[in-house]
Amino acid sequence: MKQIHWLFIMTLMSGSCGIWKSNLYKEGGHEQSIENAIYDFANTTMFFKKDSVFSISFNAAQDSILTVSILGATNKLYPTPNNNLGSSIPYFPTRYKEFENKLFVWYDSNYVVTKEIFQILDRYNHIDTVNLHGIVRIPDSTIEDSKQGVDYYFCKCDLSRYKKVKISIAVGYYEPPTLSCEKKCSD
């Protein structure tokens, strides 16, 4: 009887894992790889429970691989007068996604700072707007060297094929995982 009960529980658990994986994009670019990383991060890592705001960065590691990094955001953002509406300054987020009452933010050079990004950062108490009003102050900030996150490596031509690495250092400062992306992209 115990074996049947255990088998039933394992079947339920494996079925629920498959549900979120069926939402992963197979094709696309950075936006879809970010979505896939958020889904995986929320469903498979303990880091998701530790913070309410997460910072995302992305790039093309190689011709056939896209990388997405997710790290819990420790410090509030302190925009300067340069980070006004319509600006696009690296290191200040221009995009966001809310997922399961958590906020994920990132800079995308194809987008500009909007009122909406300021509002969402304020709602999550992740922005200090004093610098926008002409008073420039040096913020108190914490550098948390032990802060851990996850780097994702996606096959550019099949985003459902990926590997992840739990990290406390940035992409490029460790040996990346081997990911065989046989299919060549047509672009």
Percent of the chain residues past pLDDT 90, beyond the cut: 41
Band (170; pLDDT cuts 50, 70, 90): low
Percent of the chain residues past pLDDT 70, beyond the cut: 74
Q: Is residue 126 domain-resident?
A: yes
Total domains, the chain: 1
pLDDT at residue 57 tops 60: yes
Q: Is residue 12 domain-resident?
A: no
Q: Is residue 92 domain-resident?
A: yes
Q: Is residue 176 domain-resident?
A: no
pTM of the model: 0.79
Q: Is residue 99 domain-resident?
A: yes
- Which residues are CB-contacts of 137 (< 8 A; sequence separation ≥ 6)? 130, 131
Q: Is residue 17 domain-resident?
A: no
Q: Is residue 105 domain-resident?
A: yes
Domain interval for residue 47: 24-167
* Contact by Cβ (8 Å): 176, 153: yes
pLDDT in tens, 75-106: 888 777 777 788 888 888 999 999 999 999 99
